[in-house]
Amino acid sequence: MTTLDSLIIKAASKQDPVVAVASAADREVLEAVNMAIEKGIASFMLFDDEKRMKDMIETHFPRLSDEAKVSFHHAKDNVDAATLAVKAVSSGLATVLMKGNLATSVILKAVLNGEFGLRSGKVLSHVAAFEVPGYDRLLFVTDAAMNIAPDLGAKAQIIRNAVDTAHACGITEPIVAPLAAVETVNPAMIPTTDAASLVVMNRRGQITGCIVDGPLALDNAVSKEAAGQKGITGETAGKADILVVPNIEAGNILYKSLMYFANAKVGAVIQGAKAPIVLTSRADSAESKLYSLALAILTTK
């Protein structure tokens, strides 16, 4: 797949996905809901103050008022909305959780609740799919939002989560590049030693469904020409599908550079829980939220 719009088309073929939206009374969120219903990709359970939701819909998206694929569920505040939305997913009433207009910490507290949450025993990680102008395929970046400084074990799980996402998007054997500042293993640079270990884990079957090659600097991971100039050859050189960043700072900078300098489009999902989670920023556009919904829906079991 080369475009995020192709994800929407593929998501429309999934069987009756239902999205639970916590604190849904937000114009950008409701616009994404409206667009998703128009594209035929999901039904929605909306959790928030019922009057505020309906007033906003009546003003901006009147067709949703009588839409059969939308149900309204009253919540007294953001904490209640997060709790009810997570419970809807954990009980099987919904298949995807979506964050609306509330703090990330509030919804994650509900996700991690030991009684009704969505813990699976795996590392939760953020996987973003970018459509970069002039680039010939979707580019996945992980983890730019959840794990601050992952150790080797966490990086292995982060890769597994990203590979599962790539598989759901139709990429059968993604090439994974653990990023570092250099292409050689240097004991003083932990990202390079971790990358070398991840390559060995892949070769020994501890990380499957992909090809891991690294350490690689960004240019050699995505540009065959740059890799060739460094003498890096082979079937993976410059052909990465998944970029694994060494820490959250590097991920955040790469993520925002692609958006603001390269004018890339993006959709993102949190993987590793019992169900995919759409955890977009309140500043993200409705289009980005729609792409994130499509990505999450594709990764449902």
| pTM for this model (two decimals) | 0.95
Of the candidates 241, 88, 110, the one whose C-alpha atom is nearest the C-alpha of residue 164 is 241
243-278 pLDDT, tens per residue? Answer: 999 999 999 999 999 999 999 999 999 999 999 999
**Among the ranges given (45-49, 149-153, 195-199, 229-233), the one the predictor scored with the smallest mean pLDDT:** 229-233
In single-letter form, the type of residue at position 242 comes to: I
Contact 22, 85 (CB under 8 A): yes
∠197-198-199 over CA atoms, to 5°? 90
Contact 218, 245 (CB under 8 A): no
Of the candidates 224, 229, 236, the one whose C-alpha atom is nearest the C-alpha of residue 178 is 236
95-126 pLDDT, tens per residue? Answer: 999 999 999 999 999 999 999 999 999 999 99
The phi, psi pair for 3, rounded to 5°, reads -135, 155
Q: What one-character DSSP code corresponds to residue 262? A: S
In the numeric block, which tokens belong to residue 194? 């971790």
Contact 78, 24 (CB under 8 A): no
Contact 17, 297 (CB under 8 A): yes
Which residues lie closer than 8 Å to 115 by C-beta, 6 or more apart? none
Our separate counts of H helices and E strands in the chain read 11, 11
Residue 61: band (very low, low, confident or very high) from pLDDT cuts 50, 70, 90: very high
The phi, psi pair for 119, rounded to 5°, reads -60, 140
